[in-house]
Amino acid sequence: MTHLYFFLRLLKESFRDLLPIVLVILVFQLAVLQTIPQDWLPTTVGMIIVGVGLAIFLYGLEIGIFPIGEGLAKDFAKSGSTIWILIFGFMIGFGTTIAEPALVVIAEKAASISSGRIDADILRYVVALSVGFAILLGVYRIIKGHPIHYYIITGYVLVVGVTFFSPSEIIGLAYDLGGVTTSTVTVPLVAALGIGLASTIKGRNPIIDGFGLIAFASLTPMIFVQVYGIYVYNFVEVSQVAQVVVEAKVSVSTVITPESIAFGLLAVVKDVVPILGIIFFFQYVILKKPIENLASVLMGFVLVILGLYAFILGLEMGLFVLGESMAYQLTQAGNMWVIYIFAFAIGFSTTMAEPALMAIAKKSKEISDGKINDLSLRLFVAIGVAIGIALGAFRIVDGGHIHYYIIFGYFIVILLTFIAPKHIIPIAYDSGGVTTSTVTVPLVAALGIGLATNIDGRNPLIDGFGLIAFASLFPMITVMVYGILVEKLQVKGDAEIEKEAKEEKLSKIHGSLEGVDDMSLSTINIDGLELRHSMKLDFSAVVVIVPRGKEDDALQAAKEGGASGVTILNASGMGLAEIGNFYRHSHEESDKVLLFIVPTLIVDNIIKKVVAKLHITTVGDGIVFCVPISHMKGISMRQEDIFEKEVQEELHKIKK
């Protein structure tokens, strides 16, 4: 039941996140273009499939990819084998990138741009090697504990330096390749690897050190591809190759057939299998350790495959077609301001629905103890992408050189790096890599090529590229601004809020008892005498009902939570709905009732320990609840000392 509730919640969130895309398309289609799409029914069905697929994908991440990634990282960290950790990082980066579908397409286009100087297969290996090197370098940084901004700033300097020596045909392509190499499946696994390492290695902070691997994977391809481009344009002769035609045109809506479903699933499996193979090799061959909850992990990967395929299928059924059609019609209309507004709106709406960004945002909220709000983070990332795409569209219309814009953007990123809080910097760097994935790239590419095709003096093969680079750069700026705002507004994490609530509760407990009549207080009996005195402390009764045989676990958990005594009762439980004759029913004692009288201050801790130990809120059986006690008599002095000690221990924990 818990799993179903969790999935339904993800489903609700998925449709909520797709709503901005629907609204943007409706507004521009009906108000600006003033036409009704011919294929509105396939588009509607496609959007429904997208929402369901997205929920399945995210659910698969939670039960499969995140646990296995973090588990592997922790096992490697405990093994102490730095070499194998680095090799694993390289293999994950290389293996997941070489099979990236978007990379295959862009590599073929690059062969055409260079008139055969660039070989499509060699370019793919160059990019895959650069991503493998990036993950290796990022893992090394986590192990050593070096600040990430030293690496990133050095990388930006290299990117800018190489840009001045690169052929114009390569610059936009290289910048775009920095954004498309981090796929929807790769991002969560790489993030889990970084967070797992930072959580296990002593002295590392999961927020400051755990993020950043995706930023490395987005940065190094820009350098490697430009260096490769310099080489081929200086030393490789032009050859005759089949031209890959790149033009703005309206695609045809996907028709669903059994064959298309089979090939589509096979394509997604092809992307996921290398990742699974690398994981199994290192888990069983190198670590020589079985995977915990193997069935759950495999089910998670199956759900990721099904969800990702449904997501892509839904997009191809109508959204891509509609987006490309609108981009083409807007460029034909010639109203540039409408194009800029559309670029901003489509950048914002597609980013809000990006699966990789959702996964990173959820993980950011989890490890920051709620200080980073996942929805707020996604909003700031989406605003950054929107600004970037709108500015990139202006760059195509204006005809300016891309590297001037990129250099100025990097300058702002570097400046903000020294101002923003440390915990937000790695997340900001990673945000640039996760925004250009499954949803964003096709629509952004259609817009860029459409603009470059319909504006005189622009080359679609040179000027049409670069929007993805803008979409990767500006989220870094907006996320660091978000971090500065959070710091200025003094937003607190869940632990800080809970601590303040406990302190306020404690204040009320002690402050509210002054001047209260003796009969409303807990009365202490002095052993051997008829004297009594009142204890100014609130008490509660914690009741735990568990199946017979589970009472020992409950007692151990309650003891860890601070309880010092218990009353155990036998009990029987039954449902009344199907009982025909109540009096002829056999009341077999099958349950245990554990009653703990404790100071109210330690109730929360006891309940948390019991729930966690017995898995009451997930797969376990049992009930635990608390009842406040207004009058309590009969406590001995020995018990008073015990209760006072429990309170002092809890106070000590709070002050920490």
Domain map (residue ranges) of the chain: 2-241+256-491, 514-573+587-655
Averaged over 398-406, what is the pLDDT?
81
What pLDDT band is residue 248 in, cutting at 50, 70 and 90? very low
Task: Name the residue among 612, 625, 629 with its Cα closest to residue 545.
Answer: 625
Give pLDDT, residue 481: 93
Helices (H) and strands (E) in the chain — how many of each? Answer: 24, 7
Task: Give the whole-angstrom CA distance, residue 150 versus residue 170.
Answer: 27
Give pLDDT, residue 448: 77
Biggest CA pair distance of the chain: 109
Position with higher pLDDT, 144 vs 452:
144
Lowest mean pLDDT among 93-107, 352-366, 543-557, 615-629: 93-107
The size of the chain, in residues, is 656
Give pLDDT, residue 240: 45
Helix (H/G/I), strand (E/B), else coil: 591? strand
pLDDT at 534 over 90: no
Give pLDDT, residue 426: 85
Q: Give me the helices (H) in 164-212, please.
A: 168-180, 186-200
Instruction: Kindly report, residue by residue over 50-66, the tens digit of the pLDDT.
Output: 888 878 887 887 787 77
β-pairing, 591-599 with 532-535?
unpaired
Task: Give the whole-angstrom CA distance, residue 284 versus residue 134.
Answer: 25
pLDDT at 325 over 50: yes
Task: Give the whole-angstrom CA distance, residue 609 versus residue 36.
Answer: 58
Task: Give the whole-angstrom CA distance, residue 596 versus residue 543.
Answer: 7
Percent of the chain clearing pLDDT 70 (strictly above): 73
Q: Which residues pair with 532 in a beta bridge?
A: 525
Report angle CA 371, 374, 379 to the nearest 5 degrees.
115
Give pLDDT, residue 498: 66
pLDDT at 246 over 50: no
pLDDT at 511 over 80: no
Residue 428 CB-density burial (10 A; 0-12 exposed, 13-18 middle, 19+ buried): buried
What pLDDT band is residue 462 in, cutting at 50, 70 and 90? low
Task: Name the residue among 267, 257, 277, 223 with its Cα closest to residue 438.
Answer: 267
What pLDDT band is residue 532 in, cutting at 50, 70 and 90? low
Average of per-residue pLDDT values in the chain: 76
Task: Name the residue among 443, 436, 441 with its Cα closest to residue 356.
Answer: 436
Q: Which residues pair with 542 in a beta bridge?
A: 596, 626
Most confident of 268-272, 276-280, 332-336, 516-520: 276-280
pLDDT at 383 over 80: yes
pLDDT at 130 over 80: yes
Lowest mean pLDDT among 117-121, 252-256, 309-313, 561-565: 252-256
What pLDDT band is residue 517 in, cutting at 50, 70 and 90? very low
β-pairing, 532-535 with 522-525?
antiparallel
Global confidence as pTM: 0.60
| Residue found under tokens 């062969």 | 111
Give pLDDT, residue 494: 61
Task: Name the residue among 647, 649, 543, 539 with its Cα closest to residue 594.
Answer: 543
Lowest mean pLDDT among 304-318, 400-414, 453-467: 453-467
Asked if residues 58 and 91 have their Cβ atoms less than 8 Å apart, the reply is no
What pLDDT band is residue 250 in, cutting at 50, 70 and 90? very low
Instruction: Kindly report, residue by residue over 287-321, the tens digit of the pLDDT.
Output: 888 887 788 888 888 888 888 888 778 777 766 66
Give pLDDT, residue 25: 75
Asked if residues 254 and 45 have their Cβ atoms less than 8 Å apart, the reply is no
Domain 514-573+587-655 coded CATH 3.30.70.120: yes
Task: Give the whole-angstrom CA distance, residue 189 versus residue 168.
Answer: 35
Give pLDDT, residue 133: 93
Asked if residues 132 and 182 have their Cβ atoms less than 8 Å apart, the reply is no
Backbone angles phi, psi at 546, to 5 degrees: -135, 155
What pLDDT band is residue 467 in, cutting at 50, 70 and 90? confident
What pLDDT band is residue 584 in, cutting at 50, 70 and 90? very low
Lowest mean pLDDT among 153-167, 192-206, 235-249, 379-393: 235-249
pLDDT at 161 over 80: yes
Helix (H/G/I), strand (E/B), else coil: 544? strand
| Residue found under tokens 């730095």 | 82
Q: Which residues pair with 627 in a beta bridge?
A: 541
Asked if residues 604 and 542 have their Cβ atoms less than 8 Å apart, the reply is no
pLDDT at 572 over 80: no
Give pLDDT, residue 185: 61
Task: Name the residue among 354, 434, 348 with its Cα closest to residue 390.
Answer: 348
Asked if residues 181 and 215 have their Cβ atoms less than 8 Å apart, the reply is no
Give pLDDT, residue 9: 78
Give pLDDT, residue 171: 80
Averaged over 327-341, what is the pLDDT?
75
DSSP 502-527: HHHHHHHHHHTTTT--GGGSEEEE-T
pLDDT at 277 over 50: yes
Position with higher pLDDT, 371 vs 83:
83
Percent of the chain clearing pLDDT 90 (strictly above): 6
Beta strands in 215-307 (DSSP E): none
Averaged over 386-400, what is the pLDDT?
87
